[in-house]
Structure 1
Amino acid sequence: MTDTVRLEAGQLAPDFTLTDQNGRKVTLSALRGRKVIVYFYGEASTPACTAQACDFEESLGTLESAGYAVLGISRDQLPAIEKFAAAQGLTFPLLSDPGRAVHELYGAYGEKKLYGRVVHGVIRSTFVLDEHGVITMALYGIKATGHVAMLRRRLGLAA
């Protein structure tokens, strides 16, 4: 269906620097020494993306206790993610990638099926990285609802 890049476990995660909802620059490689969950979502303040972000926020204590940082990435401009983070009380970095450069590095933008039609758009994806920036889990085409619970189970952090 697509010739989009697909990252796999064992690969070094592509580095990037993006701006978060607080105007701070976040560079992935600066987080070395911590495990990181990077997830790509479609659009701030939409129902599924809101549910997913709130699930991450509710699990943040457990994830951080296990050594994980969480980064959410969308194509939204900064004002949209600022409003989204404030409205939902999100405390982890939401990163703005309006030009899709990071989405494309990770294979999180491309052809996908939507209601039986092939369209171009964000491919909801999650990547788990170890302390060295190596991908330990690459999940493409995931469902927003229940994703964080599934991820916690796979990471051995289920409540």
Structure 2
Amino acid sequence: MPLQPGTAAPDLTLPGPDGPVSLADLRGQWVVLYFYPADDTPGCTAEACSFRDSYEDFTDAGAVVVGVSGDSLESHEAFVAKHNLPFTLL
């Protein structure tokens, strides 16, 4: 069942580029948490680049952007570098 906007997400901890990242660590902040199937696929790339292009709007509003997929940290690192993504992928 999808969560409604403004509903607290259940806590989860996933590997990040600088060590494990827990949603509990972000508590008290506005978080744009988006899930996507795979790094560097056409639809997912368009979605990530859309978040990248709007990133300043999100940060100006005080929000943190985090993307989540089942890909490896190495895959995320390459995807971030290839498309100049300024946010964390888990």
Indicate the SS of the match to 1:8. coil
Q: How big is the shift at 1:8? A: 2.9
Q: TM-score, normalised by structure 1?
A: 0.52
Aligned length: 89
**What are the residue-to-residue correspondences of 1:66-105 with 2, within 5 Å?**
66-95=61-90
Moved more, 56-65 or 11-20: 11-20
* Alignment counterpart, residue 30 of structure 2, candidates 24, 29, 35: 35
Whole-Å Cα distance in 2 between the matches of residues 30 and 18 of structure 1? Answer: 12
Q: Give the CA RMSD over aligned residues.
A: 1.4
Q: How big is the shift at 1:47? A: 0.9
Structure 1 gap segments, 5+ residues each: 1-5, 96-159
Structure 2 gap segments, 5+ residues each: none
Q: TM-score, normalised by structure 2?
A: 0.89
2:8 partner amino acid: L
Whole-Å Cα distance in 2 between the matches of residues 42 and 13 of structure 1? Answer: 19
Cα offsets for 1:63-108 (capped at 9, x unmatched): 011111111000111111111111111120100xxxxxxxxxxxxx
Whole-Å Cα distance in 2 between the matches of residues 49 and 11 of structure 1? Answer: 24
Bigger fraction of residues in strand: 1
Q: How big is the shift at 1:14? A: 0.6
Structure with max Cα Rg: 1
Runs of 4+ in 1 over 3 A off after TM superposition: none
